[in-house]
Amino acid sequence: MKKRALSAILVLSAALSLTACSSGSSKNSKTSSTKISGDLPFGKFSKPVKVHVGLSVDPSDKTLPKGDTAGKNQYTRYLKDKYNINVVVDWTAATGNDFNQKVSLSIASGNLPDGMVVSDRTYMTKAASSGLLYDITDLFKKYSSEQVKEIMDSTKGRAMDNASYNGKMYSLPNVTADADGAHVMWIRKDWLDKLKMSVPKNLDEIEKVANAFVKNKMAGKNTIGIAGPSKNTKPYCTFLTSSNNVGGFDPVFGALDAYPGYWLDNGDGTASYGTLSDNTKKSLEVLTKWYKEGIIDPEMGIRDNVSDPINANQAGIFFGPWWAGGYGNGDSFKNDPKANWQAYPVYTNDGKWNVHMKTTGTTYTVISKKANEDAAKAIIIMNNALVRDESTFDTSVAISWYPLRNVMAAANECEYENAELHKVLEGKSKPNDYNKPGNLYKNMYSDATKVKNVIKPPYNNLNISNFSTKNFGDFQRMFSIMVGDRPFTYTHIDKKIYSITYSQTATMDSKWANLQKLEDETVLKIIFGKKPISYFDTFVKSWKSQGGDEITAEVQKLLKK
């Protein structure tokens, strides 16, 4: 059976290889022959340079203007005009599984386009270890912009480590704000005020408040105390998806010093998988109790979208990142302009805030070893240009169709903006103070020009009443930064936990899918009461015997390195 499956893959790979060859036959030779005028990171090629790409597109994005395509849009026209770069789209695939499958087959066949953005570091390391990627170590130093370098430096070396394999740079990494991984509690402060209750700080207080929300039917008979993950999301972040887990229970686990889904450094030279810990077991006991009491959404794990009950103003509490209360549930404010969502940390019983930290980013621009040097330089210049100039485009259309779009933002961008925008509001600085080309904080100037149009005084304790929703897009951003990121900006984090690795090891290629399925099913069965908490011990034994111990040994070797 395995041989037949492998044969099918090889046949499909060969077909893709023929397709790619026919579409990429006009590629130039390996050597570089085209001069670049001006500042190298933003220089213009003296003659057209073709860059062949594989592109992930979102079929549900209907914002592409009539007549535009994946290879012909405002961004590609900008590249051609400013830099003499012609993007040639060799193939497209729908975002998600379709694109990942296409990437896997491209790597398996050894036939990559000049550039593509892969959705996991594992793809990059597989391609690099197979000798398929361009070593851009020297080109990056020469052609990357200072802004891009500063953004990477803001991670204190983590971004460069992620972009590299065996000491050589093989990709341009996506860099996102660290705040994306620090999940907080979003709660309806207006409901608390009506009940004359204080903001809950720990799990016992959260349980009490959620019960009060349900008992008092704050949203009617369908009131939900705590929203939970949908059928497409997980109860907690993992080392492979370490941020932006809207509706998960990450702060609940953190309050009990549990970090399921992460590979943990035990401090004695050994590694362990956080899901197997006693503290994770204790956390599941709490969630099982809450679900049984009816304060967690009874349709948790079934809903198509975790935001549905939040936007319908049926839920009083949910957990998620800084942006989830502004960007993530915009319809909540449209349906109830007085919905006063506020963000707070969740503490341990002794007042500590524990946070699991994300990887620097989740996507990587990789360049084929077969690409000529001009194409490799062009891809680096494209990255510089997008980081610097994307905000100057019409961002309401076709962003998901930009070739090789790989978002980069300073690791501390959110907390920096929160503090600086307060200075603007209070008259301590002016928008023009941030009008600096190539600013590390690329959205700061634009946000500074808008903040006073969105937020009115008093500024010391911002509530929904301080915000204007007239320009709803600006409102969502300002509310997310100024309210959602307030905890991460001003509250001391007592414990930051990083995973030893954020990508797969060799044995995970064949065994992780089954282990992940076992874990996901076990966690939900326990929370739903379909299995007793004692079943957790059975799960641990099964996980270890089905390859978990072997994988743990591999992660432990990474720790020693």
CB atoms within 10 A of CB 260: 25
Give the pLDDT score at 15.
37
Contact (Cβ atoms closer than 8 angstroms) between residue 104 and residue 436: no
Q: Which two tokens stand for residue 381?
A: 């210049």
Per-residue pLDDT band for 13 (boundaries 50, 70, 90) equals very low
Pairing between β-strand 115-118 and β-strand 164-165 as defined by DSSP bridges: unpaired
Contact (Cβ atoms closer than 8 angstroms) between residue 248 and residue 328: no
Backbone torsions φ then ψ of 369, nearest 5 degrees? -65, -25
Per-residue pLDDT band for 16 (boundaries 50, 70, 90) equals very low
Helix, coil or strand: residue 24: coil
Whole-number Å distance between alpha carbons of 422 and 285: 41
Nearest to 377 by CA among 53, 41, 26, 30: 41
> What domains lie within the chain, and their CATH numbers?
2-178+364-401 (3.40.190.10), 184-348+496-560 (3.40.190.10), 413-494 (no CATH)
Nearest to 534 by CA among 284, 357, 363, 364: 284
Q: What is the mean pLDDT of residues 14-26?
A: 36
Residue 345 or residue 65, greater confidence: 345
Model confidence pLDDT, tens digit, residues 62-105:
788 888 988 899 999 999 999 999 999 999 999 888 999 999 99
Query: Which residues, other chains included, contact 69 with Cβ-Cβ below 8 Å and sequence gap of 6+?
Result: 89, 401
Model confidence pLDDT, tens digit, residues 93-140:
998 889 999 999 999 999 999 999 998 888 999 999 999 999 999 999
Give the pLDDT score at 278.
98
Q: What is the pTM of this model?
A: 0.86
Strand partners, 49: 85
Nearest to 174 by CA among 379, 404, 363, 401: 363
CA 137 to chain centroid? 25
CB atoms within 10 A of CB 468: 13
Whole-number Å distance between alpha carbons of 271 and 280: 16
DSSP-assigned letters across all residues of 220-257 = BTT-EEE----TTS-SS--SSS-S--TT--HHHHHHTT
Q: What is the mean pLDDT of residues 140-145?
A: 98
Helix, coil or strand: residue 55: strand
DSSP 8-state symbol, 141: H
Q: Which two tokens stand for residue 110?
A: 């050894």
- Tell me: pLDDT of 22 over 60: no
**Crossing angle of helices 508-527/535-543, nearest 10°?**
180
Beta strand extents in 398-502 (DSSP E only): 495-497
Helix, coil or strand: residue 69: strand
* Helix ranges, 135-181 (H): 137-143, 146-153, 158-163
* Helix ranges, 158-202 (H): 158-163, 189-195
Q: Which two tokens stand for residue 414?
A: 């959110």
Contact (Cβ atoms closer than 8 angstroms) between residue 310 and residue 332: yes
